[in-house]
Amino acid sequence: MKLVILDRDGVINRDSKAYIKSCSEWKPLPGSLEAIARLHQAGFVVVVATNQSGVGRGLIDHKTLAAIMRKMHDAVHAEGGEIAAVFYCPHTPDDQCTCRKPKSGLFEQIRHRFKMDLDGVPAIGDSMRDIEAATTAGARPILVRTGNGSKTESKLVGNSGVIVFDTLLDAVNELVK
């Protein structure tokens, strides 16, 4: 099985410091839906691993988050793609859970659900916590410059082994060559 793990906010859709709290606030980034469709059509199983601390902060409830995720699934499907599963952490940083990135709990859930080793599995994100979680889980971290990616890129030290692309579509074009 070819698996790829994507972060959501800043990779698939625009990010917001005020959090994405409604379906109307969820807006896909240019090319992201096409990118997911390309992955799916190339035989990749696409999963999303995302921190959603707006739930833990009381800014959004699980029902609204589910509606936002449904909008994302529907938009991807309309482009000919599919997201096989979404794994999310609803906790705040103060909760000290094991699923909130940069910890690798979401990746461990993915490993368990799909019964596979994540060594070398591409994990595309826009923040240092995405890179750290992927690295800890043995996945191959890929950074995109969208969302917080440009700031994150400036924090990469030396030859970190992290490949950097401008957008999700650019990263996907390289993966499906």
Residues with catalytic roles: 7, 9
| DSSP letter, residue 163 | E
Dihedral of alpha carbons 168, 171, 174, 177, sign: negative
User: β-strands 2-6, 44-51: how paired?
Assistant: parallel
- Give the DSSP letter string of 35-96: HHHHHHHTTEEEEEEEE-HHHHTTSS-HHHHHHHHHHHHHHHHHTT----EEEEE---GGG-
Distance CA 47, CA 23 (A): 20
Q: Cβ(100)–Cβ(57) under 8 Å? A: no
Residue corresponding to tokens 């917001």: 16
